[in-house]
Amino acid sequence: MSDPFVVVGADAAGLSAASKFRREAPDREVVVFEKGRWISYAYCGMPYFVAGYVDRMSDLLSLSPSEVDERGIDLRRDREVVAVEPDAKRVTVETADGDRFEQAYDDLLVATGARATTGPFDVRGVDGAFTLHDMDAAAAIDAYVAEPDAYDPDRADVSAVDRERVDRNAAMRAPETAAVVGGGYVGVEVAEALAERGLDVHVFHRSGHLLSPFGETVGNRVEEALEAEGVSVHTDAPVDALVGDDRIGAVEIGDEGDPETVPVDMAVVGVGIRPNTDLLDGTGVDLGAGGAIRVDDRGRTSLPDVYAAGDCATARHAVTGEPDWTPLGLTANRAGRAIGATVAGDPTPVGDIAGTAAVKAFDTEAARVGVLDRGKAEEAGFDPVSETVTAGSRSGYYPGAAETDVTLVADRDTGRLLGGSIVGTDRAAIRIDTLATAIESEMTVPEIERLDLAYAPPFSPVWDPILVAAKVLNGTLDG
Ligand SMILES: Cc1cc2nc3c(=O)[nH]c(=O)nc-3n(C[C@H](O)[C@H](O)[C@H](O)COP(=O)(O)OP(=O)(O)OC[C@H]3O[C@@H](n4cnc5c(N)ncnc54)[C@H](O)[C@@H]3O)c2cc1C
């Protein structure tokens, strides 16, 4: 009998792979090791849980352990894979009690995700200081921001939750002021969430505008949207230190010699993440962008019969053609599913990525795709030209029409679309999918201008904002 398909990590990439493999190869064994208790959860929903838009933590779960079991997947929780021996084709697994055992594999998928980095800050052991990169943190933040007598323990209604941590945070006096350190998309979502919970929120961002990968137009409008709802946005304001012994009391920004101190009684640090690759230390596996595991178009690593997918792996960028690292949910699910099929005997590409991402700040929606950054475009051999337009989201006379800003970036020589961003208050974000499709198809801006996009007054003006932007950029390309 052959050895099983072994999967490390039981979330988006890992369980997508195991489920697909099980369906395609019902007679073969698949074992999934998960180091924690949580499985099949939606990180993406955590800010909305904290905001109070989602009632119960269980609403953020997709599959329960028993449902995974019913699929015929051998799921083993509290089992951390600590080492891989590619020549012997086996992994070393450590239980929560510290016992170790070995497991042989035919094929191995590393789907270990990423973890939050905290830069110079140590958030451990300081009450009121958090990162938001696991479900227990979401439960703890939710408990911390509630007044002790108003907290509903049923919100953290999942057996896997760290109840002791939740209870401890629920018992503390509720904070009034919060610092969000880092103005990336998670920072923006957390700022909205905490403001919705009644806190006085400050966002501190290292560079000149929020949401750096979305470009300046988007960053500025999102900043305005947050400020309109009472959030204080500090740009060019890297936080130097979190201040407080047992419980956080302030953040320090600015000069080391003469720092500005902003008093806060809560801080959520969202300054970046790092791929979880430790289990492959010493194997000589090739790493790529962002320190993620470098994979080919089938998700294969440089080690024989070892695949990687999701936040721990690279993916080919649709514009540059190079391995890139943009850790997002669809990428993980899609690559996992493809690898499940490949290992089962149906070779399937994991697909390219275009860095398509969307975020909202209250009523303002923002999205981006492709390569917006001039330097990155030039590095990839393009000569980027860009235009930004402001256009109506619906016919001007139709209720609800709102100004939508569209930025398009194209290559001067070929006219090929390289990237785009959209921001506005009327269904702006989902329009990015038109641009994502255009980028995947390597369309030129003249081709985009000729697209037959839907027109009816409630949905779009005759000239959709994307068509307006393409028209203007074409003029520049022709000029
Ligand atoms: C706050 C927040 C909001 C987000 N919002 C969005 C969004 O709106 N849109 C979007 O596209 N993406 C979003 N993301 C990103 C998205 O959640 C991730 O891209 C996705 O979860 C990646 O899935 P994954 O399976 O690769 O990794 P994970 O979901 O991180 O799962 C990896 C699993 O592997 C386990 N593991 C790690 N090491 C080991 C080991 N050695 N042995 C055994 N098990 C191990 C971990 O415990 C974990 O359960 C968000 C993320 C966060 C934190």
Taking alpha carbons only, the member of 6, 14, 21, 10 closest to residue 65 is 10
Q: Which CATH number fits domain 129-269: 3.50.50.60, 1.10.3210.50, 3.40.50.720, 3.40.190.10?
A: 3.50.50.60
pLDDT for res 457: 98
The residues that bridge with 90 in the sheet, in sequence order, are 85, 104
The 8 Å CB, 24+ separation contacts for 44-49 are 44/329, 46/132, 46/135, 46/137, 46/138, 47/132, 47/186, 47/189, 47/190, 47/192, 47/193, 48/189, 48/193, 49/138, 49/142, 49/155
Residue-wise pLDDT for 359-379, tens only, equals 999 999 999 999 999 999 999
- Cα–ligand 1 centroid distance for 396 (angstroms): 42
Assign domain 2-39+77-114+273-343 to its CATH architecture: 3-Layer(bba) Sandwich (3.50)
Number of the ligand 1 atom closest to the C-alpha atom of 116 = 53
Mean pLDDT in residue range 446-468:
98
- Which residue has its alpha carbon closest to ligand 1 atom 28? 113
- Sheet containing 267-269: which strands, arranged edge to edge? 129-130, 267-269, 177-181, 200-204, 232-234
Q: Residue 119 — pLDDT band, cuts 50, 70, 90?
A: confident
Number of the ligand 1 atom closest to the C-alpha atom of 190 = 1
Give the separation between CA 137 and CA 29, rounded to whole angstroms: 34
> Candidates 53, 328, 330, 353: which one to mutate for ligand 1, based on the most atoms within 8 Å of Cβ?
328
- Positions of CATH 3.50.50.60 in the chain: 2-39+77-114+273-343, 129-269, 366-478
pLDDT for res 233: 98
Mean pLDDT in residue range 408-429:
98
Six-digit token string for 15? 């369980």
Number of the ligand 1 atom closest to the C-alpha atom of 114 = 30
Mean pLDDT in residue range 422-442:
98
Number of the ligand 1 atom closest to the C-alpha atom of 312 = 26
The residues that bridge with 386 in the sheet, in sequence order, are 409
DSSP 313-337: B-EEBTTT-SEE----HHHHHHHHH
Residue-wise pLDDT for 54-104, tens only, equals 999 999 999 999 999 999 999 999 999 999 999 999 999 999 999 999 999
Helix axes 329-343, 12-24, angle to 10 degrees: 30
Instruction: Point out the catalytic residue in the list 2, 23, 44, 412.
Output: 44
> What kind and span of H or E run contains 141?
helix 135-145
- Which residue has its alpha carbon closest to ligand 1 atom 19? 328
Taking alpha carbons only, the member of 427, 412, 440, 414 closest to residue 466 is 427
Exposure string over 281-300, b if 16+ CB within 10 A, otherwise e: eebebebbebebbbbeebbb
- Which residue has its alpha carbon closest to ligand 1 atom 33? 9
- Cα–ligand 1 centroid distance for 347 (angstroms): 25
> Candidates 15, 20, 43, 268: which one to mutate for ligand 1, based on the most atoms within 8 Å of Cβ?
43
> Candidates 6, 7, 8, 11: which one to mutate for ligand 1, based on the most atoms within 8 Å of Cβ?
11
Asked if 406 and 389 count as a contact pair (C-beta separation under 8 A), the reply is yes
Asked if 428 and 225 count as a contact pair (C-beta separation under 8 A), the reply is no
Assign domain 366-478 to its CATH architecture: 3-Layer(bba) Sandwich (3.50)
- Cα–ligand 1 centroid distance for 280 (angstroms): 18
- Which residue has its alpha carbon closest to ligand 1 atom 14? 44
Six-digit token string for 341? 């099929």
Helix axes 163-170, 135-145, angle to 10 degrees: 20
Q: Residue 259 — pLDDT band, cuts 50, 70, 90?
A: confident
Report residue 245 CA to chain centroid gap: 31
Q: Report the chain's C-alpha Rg in angstroms.
A: 24
How far apart are the two ends of the chain, measured CA to CA in Å? 68
- Catalytic, 312? Answer no
- The burial class, CB within 10 Å (0-12 / 13-18 / 19+), for 220 is middle
- Cα–ligand 1 centroid distance for 42 (angstroms): 8
For residue 196, pLDDT over 70 is answered with yes
For residue 1, pLDDT over 70 is answered with no
pLDDT for res 413: 97
Number of the ligand 1 atom closest to the C-alpha atom of 9 = 34
- Which residue has its alpha carbon closest to ligand 1 atom 37? 112
- Cα–ligand 1 centroid distance for 312 (angstroms): 9
Amino acid at position 144, single letter: Y
Give the separation between CA 266 and CA 247, rounded to whole angstroms: 8
Six-digit token string for 84? 């891989």
Six-digit token string for 29? 């064994």
Separation in Å, CA 295 to CA 1, 94, 106, 353, 387: 29, 26, 18, 13, 35
- Cα–ligand 1 centroid distance for 114 (angstroms): 6
For residue 442, pLDDT over 70 is answered with yes
Residue-wise pLDDT for 233-256, tens only, equals 999 999 999 999 889 999 999 877
Let me know the angle formed at the C-alpha of 475 by 471 and 476, rounded to the nearest 5 degrees: 120
Number of the ligand 1 atom closest to the C-alpha atom of 42 = 17
- Cα–ligand 1 centroid distance for 11 (angstroms): 7
Separation in Å, CA 332 to CA 5, 116, 149: 18, 17, 40
pLDDT for res 245: 85
- Cα–ligand 1 centroid distance for 468 (angstroms): 37
- Pocket of ligand 1 from Cβ distances under 6 Å: 8-14, 33-36, 43-44, 46-47, 80-81, 111-114, 132-133, 186, 276, 279, 310-311, 327-330, 332
Helix, coil or strand: residue 193:
helix
| Phi and psi, residue 186, nearest 5° | -70, -40
CB atoms closer than 10 angstroms to residue 373: 16
For residue 109, pLDDT over 90 is answered with yes
- Which residue has its alpha carbon closest to ligand 1 atom 17? 43
Number of the ligand 1 atom closest to the C-alpha atom of 278 = 41
